[in-house]
Amino acid sequence: MPACETAVEWLRVDALDLPVRIGLARFHGAGGVTEHHITIQLVGDPPDPLTTLKEAYLRALARAGISPRGAVFRRIFCSDVLNQRDWFETPEWQPLSLVGQPPAPAAKLALWAWHVDTPDGPARITRSGPDCSWTRGDLTHHWSSGLTAHGPADSHTQSRRVLVDYDHWLESRGLNLADHVVRTWWYVGAIDADYQGLVDARREYFETRGLTADTHYISSTGIQGGLPERDAKVGMDAYTIAGLQPAQIRFLTATDHLCPTADYGVTFERGTAIAYADRKHLFISGTASIDDHGEILHRGDVIGQFERALENVEVLLADGGADLHDMASLLVYLRDPADARRIDALLRSRLPGIPYVLVEGPVCRPGWLIELEGIAIVPTERRDLPEF
């Protein structure tokens, strides 16, 4: 391994006889910490999908030369989350976010995994319930998954309960929503019916915590996704950093392409950059085919919407000093799985080698046919900031 890579590398992984598509990105920083993002998407319907996924994952880890013990976050995308959740209850799969978003083209499973290796070996992870933590220096990174509210209630009530419970968890560690939460993912079981309840509950709760259009919000994706609990209408995953300094944080904008989200009543940042001594992470929120007035562009045209959404991602990355080739992972959500083969071919043509997962995940407005999100990494030289 060289002393310091200058950019994200997209590495080839040979699937050999497995019916899968494997993506692998690597970033090695000057501080000696290496990150890998792995994506695996089953192709077709192998007779034992879980074994196929495991074998593909092991091949990706072997290609990267890393241990499964360094996983700080994993997400499994399931075609039938209620029936498939039992497959992943063993310790080997933890930490884990499990969501019902069928891979597209049709398959049973897909995976996105984020691994960290330090000069002393794999990141030493502490797990407590749905939380996975990694401490290095003055920072502790928390990845929390599968946060839901149980019991019969509408999406507004459940969303508020999720926020209140997570806020209490933060407070118990001396943290808060405004200063330490970097990224959230919200899953809504029936987005066309229940998304507004989430939007209203989040806006109302954020206001009580000083998160407004005049301060800032949190980068986020709000998307349809089934949850492992039958009575859960909404669920949340979150990434929080204890010890985060204000100088590390910058919110990404591209006002010539996208208006502030508050202009159409929602409360999230388009993207957030977190800088460290030797690298910068750029978290791009769910991004669709939208213009600077908040209007949908290319109605009914999934290819046109893909191109505009990708352009919007590009300008957000540019605001943080990055471009598409700095992406370590890309998630692509489709409203209509019938569009999957065209979009899959377009992704492989436009960004050959990028690790990506393509799933069925209707976006919050019916007119949006596709949405993109992702993580980019670029090198920095900021010795005044903490190490990652």
| CATH code for the domain of 202 | 3.30.1330.40
Separation between Cα atoms, residue 287 and residue 285, nearest integer Å: 6
Separation between Cα atoms, residue 77 and residue 326, nearest integer Å: 24
- pLDDT at residue 119, rounded to an integer: 94
129 within domain boundaries: no
Q: pLDDT of 284-322, one tens digit each? A: 999 999 999 999 999 999 999 999 999 999 999 999 999
Verify that 189 and 54 share a domain, yes or no. no
Instruction: Give counts: helices (H), strands (E), the chain.
Output: 7, 19
Choose the final residue of a domain: 229, 244, 259. 244
Beta bridge partners of 275: 280
Separation between Cα atoms, residue 125 and residue 236, nearest integer Å: 21
- pLDDT at residue 168, rounded to an integer: 97
- pLDDT at residue 195, rounded to an integer: 97
Contact 300, 324 (CB under 8 A): no
CA dist 116 → 10, 28, 199 (Å):
16, 10, 33
Verify that 226 and 263 share a domain, yes or no. no
Choose the final residue of a domain: 244, 275, 294. 244
Which residue's entry shows tokens 């990404």?
Answer: 252
169 within domain boundaries: yes
Q: pLDDT of 6-46, one tens digit each? A: 699 999 999 989 999 999 999 999 999 999 999 999 999 99
How many domains is the chain partitioned into structurally?
3
Separation between Cα atoms, residue 272 and residue 375, nearest integer Å: 10
Full residue range of the structural domain in which residue 322 is found: 248-388
Q: What single letter denotes the amino acid at residue 211? A: L
User: For residue 375, what is the enclosing H or E element?
Assistant: strand 370-379
pLDDT of 262 strictly over 90: yes
Mean pLDDT of the chain: 96
CA dist 208 → 101, 106, 183, 202 (Å):
32, 42, 19, 10
pTM of the model: 0.96
